[in-house]
Structure 1
């Protein structure tokens, strides 16, 4: 079983203190907690056997791998859903873990940006109900036509409903027919205010999209499969909040990106905690691009994806046996 989000600080404190050799005050500074809390966490780690290297490697392989990924990819936190051969759809375990992590990350008064897609809607659908104070959930990109499942407004409002929070939707489509129309709509006071307020979010929740015929921007009709193939040949590597990114996580210079109503990547990078959740193995390339572009600070993935990321990191991460 993967580590519970509420216990992650214990593991991180033990990792920094015993594996990296940091002093307790240094651990406290890095984790932004008190030194007394560090001492308490280290005591709990000793009592539970987490700091026993042989036991930790055998019983907490996924958690050790998570710490290695944090180090190698310079992420604030990683959670790994373990492989479970008894589950028909392992992606369900990832969504359940992600829903728990997401709730743990939310604080009173937070402003939360939410994107869209099957992964996000699944998280919203299985997330526990909570009565949080002064929380606002905002949509990160424009909307889609009614026939499409997992629309941005549906994801935003379902999460707001589960949290008993205020939900703010975009009053604009995701894609406009011309760049001129998109520029004009972005200049409208209501839309301009919504877009400018995204960087004030404390937390963001999104997944990454592929750049192939199965991409959600293709399935929703924003792009045709042939148009997406042209963009892929031009360097497209993934999709974030409806926006096409290249392998470095930068916005691809293309007409499609200039025709959409979506959060600027610079605004997303200003958000303190960006939780990216990836269920499908096919999203490796988009995920690597998102991490390279500074669009991910917190990550939830499955064990197979975690091992691929460690292999990709190369010398920066010692592979877990």
Structure 2
């Protein structure tokens, strides 16, 4: 795996290569992410199409635009749904309730795609289910020539077990947040290169703590210690994968690994913070809070994340509902992956905020 400064790519050559890769239109690229998926993915898409057509009374062209495929594909899906007896008066199958819930969340927050993982009991730990759904989604969309930016945390680390490894050409994964400096069995920042390794790609880390001691240290690390190239690479991502942290709980990753203490948590909460993305702390309305901790964070800025065309947010749990609500407004994810209990609670919060 390559770290910052290990290998420099010619900027002109990189731009030339990426122009060759991006000659297709934005819609074609979006469609390319959805085709060639495993049978379970196709089944889910077929049932979503049937739900939109028969229950929501949408036109085939409208469904094709939402799902990112051609109208002919929608026609075939609807025909197959009828042939499989999945369509009667309603839609048959264990996914129908989840599809209805996915559509509610999509419409409530204006999202392009929502994937909801079922839970056998509302009190179960949602992370395994969310990680499995995230792994299945990513396995279907990563492709040759992609540049993926990632955060880290328990949900993302668990996703590694569910990725379908294969060789990809010119595939790059970039960690958007520094790591930890204390000795531990596993550095969560290593998620980036482990992800890259599964697809035989290149992994780039930010070889610095997620938080430093001063603004001067941060500036020196970026400008004089070879980290600037990693931050520049993050300006040209195809997809970003993030999870949220919650301020209210001591189980949040920043608190567990020692970057935040009780004083930090109290002062952040006083300013209205409910969660963080890449150690950027925000309130329930999706506004970054004014706090000096932001000057010390070694991570890519939220404005960079907001410009990435495919923004995948994967998180869940009762303690993260307010953090998820704020994240919806902060980065406006294009893809949201969560569990059914979290999805329902998120809708309740959204309705109470109206």
TM-score (norm 1): 0.88
Paired residues for 1:137-216 under 5 Å: 137-148=173-184, 151-188=187-224, 190-212=226-248, 213-216=250-253
Instruction: Pick closer, same or farther for the CA change 1:280–1:23 going to 2, 3 Å.
Output: closer
Structure 2 residue 260 is the aligned partner of structure 1 residue 228 = no
Residues in 2 aligned to 1:282 and 1:160: alpha-carbon distance in whole angstroms: 30
Deviation, structure 1 residue 316: 11
Deviation, structure 1 residue 59: 5.5
1:84-137 deviations in Å (ceiling 9; x for gaps)? 149975532222122111211212211111111111111113433222222111
Residues in 1 aligned to 2:78 and 2:239: alpha-carbon distance in whole angstroms: 28
Structure 1 residue ranges (4+ consecutive) displaced by more than 6 angstroms after TM superposition = none
Structure 2 residue 285 is the aligned partner of structure 1 residue 260 = no
CA contact 2:148–2:237 (8 Å) conserved in 1: yes
Deviation, structure 1 residue 275: 1.8
Deviation, structure 1 residue 260: 0.9
Instruction: Pick closer, same or farther for the CA change 1:150–1:263 going to 2, 3 Å.
Output: farther
Provide the residue aligned with 1:63 in structure 2.
99
CA contact 2:165–2:199 (8 Å) conserved in 1: yes
Residues in 1 aligned to 2:60 and 2:277: alpha-carbon distance in whole angstroms: 38
Paired residues for 1:21-32 under 5 Å: 21-32=57-68
Instruction: Pick closer, same or farther for the CA change 1:300–1:30 going to 2, 3 Å.
Output: closer
Provide the residue aligned with 2:9 in structure 1.
none
Deviation, structure 1 residue 68: 1.6
Residues in 2 aligned to 1:264 and 1:86: alpha-carbon distance in whole angstroms: 35
Provide the residue aligned with 1:97 in structure 2.
133
Q: 3-state DSSP class of the match of 1:271?
A: coil
Instruction: Pick closer, same or farther for the CA change 1:90–1:8 going to 2, 3 Å.
Output: same
Instruction: Pick closer, same or farther for the CA change 1:175–1:124 going to 2, 3 Å.
Output: same
What is the RMSD computed on CA atoms of the aligned residues? 2.7
Residues in 2 aligned to 1:31 and 1:76: alpha-carbon distance in whole angstroms: 8
Residues in 1 aligned to 2:340 and 2:122: alpha-carbon distance in whole angstroms: 15
Worse overlay, 86-95 or 70-79? 86-95
TM-score (norm 2): 0.80
Instruction: Pick closer, same or farther for the CA change 1:257–1:88 going to 2, 3 Å.
Output: closer
282, 293, 307: which is aligned to 1:270? Answer: 307
Residues in 2 aligned to 1:59 and 1:111: alpha-carbon distance in whole angstroms: 32
Deviation, structure 1 residue 181: 2.3
Deviation, structure 1 residue 17: 3.0
Residues in 2 aligned to 1:44 and 1:63: alpha-carbon distance in whole angstroms: 18
Provide the residue aligned with 1:248 in structure 2.
285
